[in-house]
């Protein structure tokens, strides 16, 4: 039994933009955790370097080391902020380019094609598929994140993207043939 099931996903510009924004925030969640840690460490080291010592002990080598460590963490904070804002700008540009390309091609729907051997996502710009062993999925809030080729390609869906029971069909195939991350 090698028949395929073709699920239609109607193109919605606002939904696509929302999915992409969600995925960007989801991927940068770890970066924000790192940023919070760096801020805490910078405050602690700067406090220990400048304010914990009296004027007589201020020339202590330990306070100097704490100051330098605090400034290093400040530099790391600025580096993380720079990376975030530059990547966010580039990501927004790429999202807008993708949406304008899909609109220019007259995209009405994308398709998810399911078989027992593989899964394929197809639209007017690309056809991307993977065998089930290289496919993973994760539910985050109301979103389904579908990962292809060992987490190198991602697609984001919600139940409202699909018609009728197609979402349940997709999740059923994922539960049966793929691994949850």
Q: How much is the pLDDT for 148?
A: 87
Q: How much is the pLDDT for 57?
A: 52
Listed residue (16, 19, 15, 28) closest to 143, CA to CA: 19
Q: How much is the pLDDT for 151?
A: 78
pLDDT digits (tens, 9 = 90+) for 164-180: 889 999 999 999 998 88
Q: How much is the pLDDT for 158?
A: 92
Answer whether residue 81 shows pLDDT above 90: yes
pLDDT digits (tens, 9 = 90+) for 121-154: 998 888 898 999 889 999 998 999 999 887 788 8
Answer whether residue 56 shows pLDDT above 80: no
* Range in 75-79, 81-85, 122-126, 137-141 the model is least confident about: 122-126
Domain ranges of the chain: 5-10+107-180, 13-104
Q: How much is the pLDDT for 55?
A: 52
Answer whether residue 115 shows pLDDT above 70: yes
Q: How much is the pLDDT for 19?
A: 92
Q: Which two tokens stand for residue 35?
A: 């940023």
Q: How much is the pLDDT for 126?
A: 87
Contact partners, residue 114, CB within 8 Å, separation at least 6: 4, 5, 6, 7, 169, 170, 173
Q: How much is the pLDDT for 58?
A: 52
Q: How much is the pLDDT for 65?
A: 87
Q: How much is the pLDDT for 164?
A: 83
Q: Per CATH, the architecture of 5-10+107-180 is what? A: Roll (2.30)
For residues 164 and 85, the model is more confident at 85
Residue carrying structure tokens 């990962």: 147
The β-bridge relationship of strands 179-180 and 135-140 is parallel
């Amino acid at each position: 039994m090698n028949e395929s099931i073709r699920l239609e996903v109607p193109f919605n510009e606002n939904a696509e933009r929302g999915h992409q924004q969600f995925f960007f925030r989801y991927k940068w969640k770890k970066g924000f955790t790192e940023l919070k840690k760096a801020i805490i460490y910078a405050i602690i080291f700067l406090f220990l370097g400048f304010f914990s010592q009296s004027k007589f002990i201020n020339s202590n080598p330990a306070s100097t080391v704490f100051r330098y460590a605090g400034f290093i963490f400040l530099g790391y904070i600025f580096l993380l902020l720079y990376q975030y804002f530059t990547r966010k700008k580039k990501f927004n540009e790429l999202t807008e380019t993708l949406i304008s390309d899909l609109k220019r091609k007259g995209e009405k729907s994308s398709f998810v094609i399911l078989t027992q051997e593989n899964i394929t996502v197809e639209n007017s710009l690309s056809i991307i598929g993977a065998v089930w062993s290289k496919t993973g999925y994760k539910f985050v809030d109301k979103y389904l994140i579908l990962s292809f080729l060992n987490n190198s390609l991602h697609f984001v869906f919600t139940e409202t993207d699909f018609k009728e029971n197609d979402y349940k069909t997709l999740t059923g195939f994922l539960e049966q043939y793929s691994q949850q991350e």
